Amino acid sequence: MSLMAQFGPQWRRRRPKLPLLGEPAARTSVELPERLVYTVEQAAAEQGSPVRRGQLLGLESDVPVLAAADGRLTELRRIKRGRDGHPVTQLVIDTKAELTEEEQAADPLFPLEPLAVDAAPASLLERFERAGVVAVSRVPQALATRLRVNAELLVIGAVDAEPGLSAAAALAQGAPQRVVAAAKLLAHASGIHRVAIAGLAPTIDALRGAAEDADIELLEVPPLYPNGLDELVARAALDGDGFATAVPVESALAALDAVEKGEPHVLRTITARAADGNTRRELTAPAGCSFADLLGAAGFELRAHDRLLAGGEMMGAALIDTDATLDAWVRGVTVLADERAAGFACEPCIDCGDCATLCPMRLQPQWIGRLAEYGHYQRAAEEFDAERCVRCGLCAYTCPAGRPLVQWIELVCRETANTPSAEGGAA
Ligand code: SF4
Ligand code: SF4
């Protein structure tokens, strides 16, 4: 089944035309800032201690968080996050701090000794863990965990899921031979025999020569949102039957670097998009640097009413200031001019059905929204499968009543996570 064929004609007619980008922008490396900040749920370092590049600082949702540079841990702040006041720890590393002679004399943690790409799968998976390789995506995971699954298909995502972002295309088109080598490495490490690389036409063209003699499929993604989302690429490739695991191209390349060069996964490549909606930069930056550093490196200035998003304009999270830092959840940085920002009116649902027509996961966002609005989270989760939502945002984008449907779906998923019992009461 092709990517376009998996939806009905009404869906194809009514969905908004949001083009995906296959042409990368100019690339810039962000200098190491004086301060790197990481947020973890379980800290593995102590205040005042020296920190080495690649050192495990802690875990965030079971994802390893590694220091991107040497320095000293000068602050360890315990804060509460989110609606439920979930306790987390922020670790501040001063990258310019002076280390004692004894501290300087300690052996660096990286680079590790190179490993053969055809080493035993268990050794490769262990190396990915040691190097902190993360499958950077909407729901990040340690790469080794993502590969330890029983799947029919491994998809390397060399496509940027959201309009306005192009970092995956930049990485893939910049090193096609390495992308193919990384795909083969992950196939060997995971034992998944069917491997595909998904990309827009310019990326597929760039990869074709390198993939010629490799047993790897190239999946050309139609250049419209939301075709590049992992779930939709996998569904189309498997013809709706079977299970696929997806690894973004950045993570695949980081895995290859961990094996061949012994390097940790501490650099991220993301797209920064300016308020005019057209100007872009691909930024390679150390994890832990602030959005202020990213915007400065891109040469973008925030005007008084500009909004800032961690991600693209369909799935990005709104930021209230530029102190937030780059982590494995961030896929880009978008400056949004005030007039382009969507406002929520939160009027009553008029039952137009547009949200359900456009939902690529065939959910009924109008019902999830109504139930969530009145606090019936469990019923929304159980009867309307809220957890299958991929947060594409198309329902809210199209809703004429301006209902914050994605926020409600998020709320349902958060409130019902690990809650086995049914909720009392009815809508
Ligand atoms: S955000 Fe979720 S519910 Fe809304 S259209 Fe996308 S997948 Fe469907
Ligand atoms: S698009 Fe908005 S108004 Fe229309 S059915 Fe969905 S929630 Fe209701």
List pLDDT tens digits, range 61-72. Answer: 899 999 999 999
- pLDDT for the residue numbered 424: 32
pLDDT tens digits, one per residue of 146-192 = 999 999 999 999 999 999 999 999 999 999 999 999 999 999 999 99
What's the CA-to-centroid distance between 19 and ligand 1, angstroms? Answer: 18
Question: Torsion-angle region of residue 84: left (phi > 0), alpha (psi -120 to 50) or beta?
Answer: alpha
Of all protein residues, whose CA lies closest to atom 8 belonging to ligand 1? 359
In angstroms, rounded to a whole number, what is the distance separating the alpha carbons of residues 164 and 314?
A: 10
- pLDDT for the residue numbered 427: 28
Q: How confident is the model at residue 48 (pLDDT cuts 50, 70, 90)?
A: very high
Q: Residues 201-226: what's their mean pLDDT? A: 95
Q: Residues 132-149: what's their mean pLDDT? A: 95
In angstroms, rounded to a whole number, what is the distance separating the alpha carbons of residues 38 and 43?
A: 10
Q: Residues 187-212: what's their mean pLDDT? A: 97
Q: Residues 398-420: what's their mean pLDDT? A: 87
Instruction: Please give the domain boundaries of the chain with CATH numbers for all domains.
Output: 5-25+113-260 (3.40.50.11540), 35-105 (2.40.50), 266-340 (3.10.20.600), 354-415 (no CATH)
Ligand 2 contact via 404 beta carbon (within 6 Å): no
Q: How confident is the model at residue 340 (pLDDT cuts 50, 70, 90)?
A: low
Ligand 2 contact via 371 beta carbon (within 6 Å): no
User: Could you say which ligand is closest to the alpha carbon of residue 389?
Assistant: 1
* Sheet with strand 280-286: strands edge to edge: 27-29, 280-286, 267-273, 332-336, 307-310, 317-319
- pLDDT for the residue numbered 6: 58
Burial class for 239, CB neighbours closer than 10 Å (0-12, 13-18, 19+)? exposed
Ligand 2 contact via 370 beta carbon (within 6 Å): no
- pLDDT for the residue numbered 418: 66
pLDDT tens digits, one per residue of 370-400 = 999 999 999 999 999 999 999 999 999 999 9
In angstroms, rounded to a whole number, what is the distance separating the alpha carbons of residues 122 and 147?
A: 11
Q: Residues 97-122: what's their mean pLDDT? A: 94
Judge contact between 66 and 56, C-beta under 8 A: yes
- pLDDT for the residue numbered 422: 36
Mean pLDDT lowest among 2-11, 12-21, 126-135, 152-161: 2-11
Burial class for 94, CB neighbours closer than 10 Å (0-12, 13-18, 19+)? middle
Residue 248: closest CA among 142, 171, 153, 136: 136
Judge contact between 232 and 20, C-beta under 8 A: no
User: Is residue 219 over pLDDT 90?
Assistant: yes
Mean pLDDT lowest among 22-26, 34-38, 271-275, 342-346: 342-346
- pLDDT for the residue numbered 40: 96
Query: ∠ CA 408-413-418 to the nearest 5 degrees?
Result: 155
- pLDDT for the residue numbered 4: 52
C-alpha of 22 from chain center: 18
User: Which phi and psi angles does 88 have, rounded to 5°?
Assistant: -135, 170
pTM of the model: 0.92
Ligand 2 contact via 402 beta carbon (within 6 Å): no
User: Is residue 107 over pLDDT 60?
Assistant: yes
Q: What is the mean pLDDT of the chain?
A: 91
User: Could you say which ligand is closest to the alpha carbon of residue 386?
Assistant: 1
In angstroms, rounded to a whole number, what is the distance separating the alpha carbons of residues 342 and 332?
A: 18
Q: Residues 27-41: what's their mean pLDDT? A: 97
Q: How confident is the model at residue 417 (pLDDT cuts 50, 70, 90)?
A: confident
- pLDDT for the residue numbered 419: 59
Q: Residues 113-142: what's their mean pLDDT? A: 96
Ligand 1 contact via 406 beta carbon (within 6 Å): yes
